[in-house]
Amino acid sequence: MMLAPNVYDAEPIPEAARAEIDRMFASGDLFRYTCAGDSPVALLEREFADLLGAKYALAVASCSAALFLSLKALDLPRGARVLIPAFTFAAVPSAVVHADCVPVLVEVGDNYRIDMADFEAKLDGVEAILISHMRGQTSDMDTIIALAEAHGLPVIEDAAHSLGTRWHGRNIGTIGKIGCFSFQSYKLLNAGEGGILITDDADLIARAVIMSGAYEHNWKKHPVLQDRFANWQNKLPLYNTRMGNLSAAIIRPQLAEIPRRVRDGRRNHDHVAAQLNASPWLTVPDALEPELRAPDSIQFSLVDFSDEETVAFQDAAALRGIKVQVFGMSEDNARAFWNWQFLGKVPRLAKTRAMLSRACDTRLPARLTVADCDQIAAALVEAADEVKAEMLAYGT
Ligand SMILES: *Cc1c(COP(=O)(O)O)cnc(C)c1O
């Protein structure tokens, strides 16, 4: 058997990071607020905001911290209800809980995107909307923004896994009031850990900067509208979830890699999707019309598979060296909403549950070659054929 392509290793960090890291080793200057001039974190914030087309950015410890600070910066009352999709990572409802708010889960359809009828039905009594673009899948942002505006609700975008995705040509993360991104190792930019939030709202950024841990007059090192900061002096708690200079130095030289990673990730995804869609047993839902994707993994659903066949498919793919996660079938999966027991009772959400029980996830990093992708696609198609042929042979 041919060795399966390695889908786990990260790409090397660009060599350009080394000189800056050596400089920091010599100086010990790792805290963003001790530099005399612009720190690497401040430079990353400016570069990232410019790249995305936002006015302001704040780099923090993780995307989860960015989501938490976004909710805090909106100054929602304790117990405020926040709409989130029921298909997301457990860290998203957790950020809502951490911000003393209550998540309201919305159904997600077979195409992995928010069910707009359920979204609209649940808007009453909600005070904010947090759209999680899970695995970079974009829901109908036109309708979401129109409904949010009609109800006077702020939209936060969890764009942790959507860097490089566009909607009508606009960068995902710039469509809502605040966009949050991750630099955790599985995302497009890898610093091990890290996150950033972007916004055009001066008051929101001022509040988020202070709460991220810009204590005393450290906010003076953020070159944005300074009068907004003075308004909030000593009035906000400090949650100290800053980014350090080492992380910023690792991220900054990767910014130039984004176009290549987006282009190759999309090529790999679309190449595999075409082969999976040619199988009667596998389906990759189409992106919505305004959406231009930047994937580094592929999601597909099993067609007419029982639970038993779904497990058999996972095993048959594993025998071919391809690890497939079925979100709703693996024990304790952090993306299956019924495992979010910290929320107390969760609603039934039959649509999302049905989708998760057949939705498969396979890593497809941008550095793979087209030949690697052919091998992965062939293994998945063969695994499905094998399971269905066996089941037909046994008459089950
Ligand atoms: C990775 C991820 C997160 C969490 O990001 P961290 O930086 O690890 O906190 C949140 N939402 C989505 C959609 C993600 O993919």
DSSP state string for 56-81: EEEEES-HHHHHHHHHHHTTPPTT-E
- What residue's CA is closest to ligand 1, atom 5? 63
**In this structure, is residue 214 part of a structural domain?**
yes
- The domain in which residue 327 lies consists of 257-395
Could you tell me which of 117, 164, 96 has the C-alpha nearest to residue 136? 164
CATH of the domain at 31: 3.40.640.10
pLDDT in tens, 80-118: 999 999 999 999 999 999 999 999 999 999 999 999 999
Kindly give the distance from the C-alpha atom of residue 28 to the centroid of ligand 1, in angstroms, as a whole number: 30
120 with 185, same domain? yes
**In this structure, is residue 322 part of a structural domain?**
yes
238 with 265, same domain? no
Give, for ligand 1, the residue of 69, 158, 183 to mutate: max count of ligand atoms closer than 8 Å to Cβ. Answer: 158
CATH of the domain at 327: 3.90.1150.10
261 with 244, same domain? no
75: Cβ–Cβ under 8 A, 6 or more apart, which residues? Answer: 207
252 with 190, same domain? yes
Could you tell me which of 255, 92, 244, 84 has the C-alpha nearest to residue 155? 84
**In this structure, is residue 313 part of a structural domain?**
yes
350 with 247, same domain? no
Q: Which of 256, 279, 300 is the last residue of a domain?
A: 256
Gap between the Cα atoms of 352 and 329, Å rounded: 13
207 with 251, same domain? yes
**In this structure, is residue 217 part of a structural domain?**
yes
Gap between the Cα atoms of 99 and 246, Å rounded: 28
137 with 277, same domain? no
pLDDT at 9 over 70: yes
Q: Which of 256, 286, 321 is the last residue of a domain?
A: 256
Gap between the Cα atoms of 358 and 364, Å rounded: 19
Count the domains in the chain. Answer: 2
Kindly give the distance from the C-alpha atom of residue 384 to the centroid of ligand 1, in angstroms, as a whole number: 30
Name which of 15-29, 34-48, 380-394 the model is least confident about: 380-394
- What residue's CA is closest to ligand 1, atom 2? 160
From the CB of residue 235, how many other CB atoms can be counted at a distance below 10 Å? 8
**In this structure, is residue 67 part of a structural domain?**
yes
Rg of the chain, C-alpha, whole Å: 22
Give, for ligand 1, the residue of 67, 88, 113, 187 to mutate: max count of ligand atoms closer than 8 Å to Cβ. Answer: 187
216 with 342, same domain? no
Kindly give the distance from the C-alpha atom of residue 389 to the centroid of ligand 1, in angstroms, as a whole number: 38
pLDDT in tens, 315-362: 999 999 999 999 999 899 999 999 999 999 999 999 999 999 999 999
What is the chain's mean pLDDT, rounded?
Answer: 96
Q: Which of 256, 291, 322 is the last residue of a domain?
A: 256
Q: Would you place residue 390 in the very low, low, confident or very high pLDDT band (cuts 50, 70, 90)?
A: confident
Higher-pLDDT residue of 331 and 175 is 175
Percent of the chain with pLDDT over 90: 92
268 with 240, same domain? no
Q: What is the pTM of this model?
A: 0.97
Q: Determine the atom of ligand 1 nearest the C-alpha atom of 159.
A: 13
pLDDT at 258 over 90: yes
Kindly give the distance from the C-alpha atom of residue 314 to the centroid of ligand 1, in angstroms, as a whole number: 25
202 with 269, same domain? no
Name which of 62-71, 217-226, 262-271, 344-353 the model is least confident about: 217-226
214 with 275, same domain? no
pLDDT at 396 over 60: no
Q: Which residues of 288-325 are buried (b: 16+ CB within 10 A; e: fewer)?
A: beebbbbbbbbbbbbeebeeebbebbbebbeebbbebb
Q: Please state the separation of Cα 16 from the chain's center in Å.
A: 26
Q: Are 51 and 159 in contact (CB under 8 A)?
A: no
